[in-house]
Structure 1
Amino acid sequence: MIAWLDSGDAFPPATDALTDPNGLLCAGLELTADRVLDAYGQGIFPWYSEGQPVLWWSPDPRMVLRPQDFRLHRSLRKTLRNTVYEVRVDSSFEAVMRACAELRPDQDGTWISEAIIAAYTQLHKRGLAHSVETWVDGELVGGLYGIALGRVFFGESMFMRRTDASKIAFAHLVEQLRRWQFELVDCQQNTDHLASLGAAPIRRAEFLQRLQRLVNSPADVSLQGRWQFDADLGASLTRTAKTA
């Protein structure tokens, strides 16, 4: 059995999560920006389907990426060299969320509900949730969104409408996070795709220990509110792609 959360109830410890299904911790009906923020600070995140109560998770192990471990693969290097694109930050947050929510060929539903969009959009307005977007000829063709707390970026979802468009956004994000001295990107679930980019699983106990330190390690004051990436970021990545 898992705990049921009424409005105002505290989350149970993440260590109380089930092993099957891996990480299911508790359920409830409340999904607000403050509730989501409280969850992330404790290593918990919402994931549920339309028609279900809000399900909260903390899997063990946890997939994470250290920015310095990111792998710039040959195919992505070629895309960075040969594609005319623009990377924008926080210019179309809700549009990115809605694009991530679109059904894909291997899916019969989406967990990014209207309630999720409302909560995360509120966090975006508060300067805590961010989108990184790939644009080509004025069209949004890929991107991702997530939440930044302290020196951790909690990645949520990404989408692409052209080859490697989401990876372009991710590469720019990770390089900028490295420059800003972020230490961890939370990828949540273990997938081959994330592993190919340099992410690796760690035990939940280690993740929670790191989280407690990093969430309470404030980032630079300039990162409050809407983000702005370094002007030379794209050129730097292109140079890396040419020499790698």
Structure 2
Amino acid sequence: MLGVTFGLPSEWPSQDLIGYTDEFSAALALEGYRCGVFPMPINAGDSEMGWWSPMQRGLLPVDGLHVTRSMRRAAKRYTTTVDAAFDDVVAACADPDRPHGWIDTRIRTAYARLHATGWAHSVETWDRDGRLVGGLYGVHVGGLFAGESMFHDPELGRDASKVALMRLVEELTAAGVILVDVQWLTDHLGSLGAYEVPRRVYLSRLNVALGLPQSPWPGALTVPGRRVGPPNSHPPPRPEEA
């Protein structure tokens, strides 16, 4: 059931940013996902933590990842793991040289705690020389996976983040996840099958997802890239958005 720590959604402002707090912790972040919000600093260096619930929420259908031929070719160059290098993935996502960076020390500390307690997970992509060249991380609660960030090495890891996403959907399917939150829809995510729904629709689906059991993840099992990804190369029709 949806939490109410951040108030009733009917009372939230009609904007993506629904509030901010001076307090921030791993426990509060986890509660935020149960309420339909996620933490992100409003501005770099601010002491307050912003809490966001986009008016139009980006979702990725678990069974609708658009896997292109180029992604399948790229996958053959890599291997993937789960929860093998969580801190390294977050550090790469937090690289200050990346544009629009928002992952600060508070975020890194809180999500490391969530990982240590089994709520946050990472998927890693490795090249043939054993170098970490891509990955992603997010939070799993019941039937929800809330994707936080992904990266690829621009020189060594072409399409490596997409290969991590291919591995992710396999793990989510096995864990019984039915709702994959990607926060905001981008052109990049849209090309992979993501779509938008209004806030009220997201919260309704979240309420269902939170009622599902919490299934374990498999650990750091290494899988060759050629074995990851759904058999279909095109997504099914999008679900109804109302």
TM-score, with normalisation over the residues of structure 1?
0.84
Q: Evaluate the alpha carbon distance shift between residue 229 and residue 240 of structure 1 in structure 2; reply closer, same or farther with a 3 A threshold.
A: farther
CA distance in 2, matches of 1:133, 1:213: 29
Q: Evaluate the alpha carbon distance shift between residue 105 and residue 156 of structure 1 in structure 2; reply closer, same or farther with a 3 A threshold.
A: closer
CA distance in 2, matches of 1:238, 1:177: 12
- Could you tell me which residue of structure 2 aligns to residue 154 of structure 1? 146
TM-score, with normalisation over the residues of structure 2?
0.84
- Could you tell me which residue of structure 2 aligns to residue 6 of structure 1? none
- Could you tell me which residue of structure 2 aligns to residue 3 of structure 1? none
Q: Evaluate the alpha carbon distance shift between residue 211 and residue 51 of structure 1 in structure 2; reply closer, same or farther with a 3 A threshold.
A: same
Q: Is the 8 A contact 1:17 1:23 kept in 2?
A: no
1:65 aligns with 2:60: yes
Q: Is the 8 A contact 1:47 1:57 kept in 2?
A: yes
Out of 44, 51, 54, the residue aligned to residue 49 of structure 2 is 54
Instruction: For 1:103, give the aligned amino acid.
Output: P
Q: Evaluate the alpha carbon distance shift between residue 232 and residue 119 of structure 1 in structure 2; reply closer, same or farther with a 3 A threshold.
A: closer
Out of 40, 64, 72, the residue aligned to residue 77 of structure 1 is 72
Out of 72, 88, 93, the residue aligned to residue 95 of structure 1 is 88
- Could you tell me which residue of structure 1 aligns to residue 190 of structure 2? 195
Q: Evaluate the alpha carbon distance shift between residue 41 and residue 144 of structure 1 in structure 2; reply closer, same or farther with a 3 A threshold.
A: same
Give the match's secondary structure for 1:47: strand
CA distance in 2, matches of 1:123, 1:50: 22
CA deviation string 1:106-137 (max 9, x = no partner): 44xx2111011111110100000001000111
Name the Cα RMSD after superposition.
2.3
- Could you tell me which residue of structure 2 aligns to residue 116 of structure 1? 107
Greater helix content = 1
Give the match's secondary structure for 2:123: strand
CA distance in 2, matches of 1:45, 1:203: 16
CA distance in 2, matches of 1:229, 1:101: 22
The count of aligned residue pairs is 224
Instruction: For 2:141, give the aligned amino acid.
Output: L
- Could you tell me which residue of structure 1 aligns to residue 31 of structure 2? 38
Identity of aligned residues (%): 38
Give the match's secondary structure for 2:228: helix
Q: Evaluate the alpha carbon distance shift between residue 104 and residue 34 of structure 1 in structure 2; reply closer, same or farther with a 3 A threshold.
A: same
Shift of 1:171: 0.7
CA distance in 2, matches of 1:64, 1:230: 27
1:18 aligns with 2:32: no
Query: Which one scores higher on RCO, CA 8 angstroms, separation ≥ 6?
Result: 2
Q: Evaluate the alpha carbon distance shift between residue 212 and residue 241 of structure 1 in structure 2; reply closer, same or farther with a 3 A threshold.
A: closer
CA deviation string 1:76-126 (max 9, x = no partner): 122124x1x22111111111111001134544xx21110111111101000
CA deviation string 1:208-237 (max 9, x = no partner): 1111111121133xx0xx643777785543
Could you tell me which runs of 5 or more consecutive residues in structure 1 were left unpaired when the two chains were aligned.
1-8
Give the match's secondary structure for 2:134: strand
Q: Evaluate the alpha carbon distance shift between residue 230 and residue 11 of structure 1 in structure 2; reply closer, same or farther with a 3 A threshold.
A: same
Could you tell me which runs of 5 or more consecutive residues in structure 2 were left unpaired when the two chains were aligned.
234-242
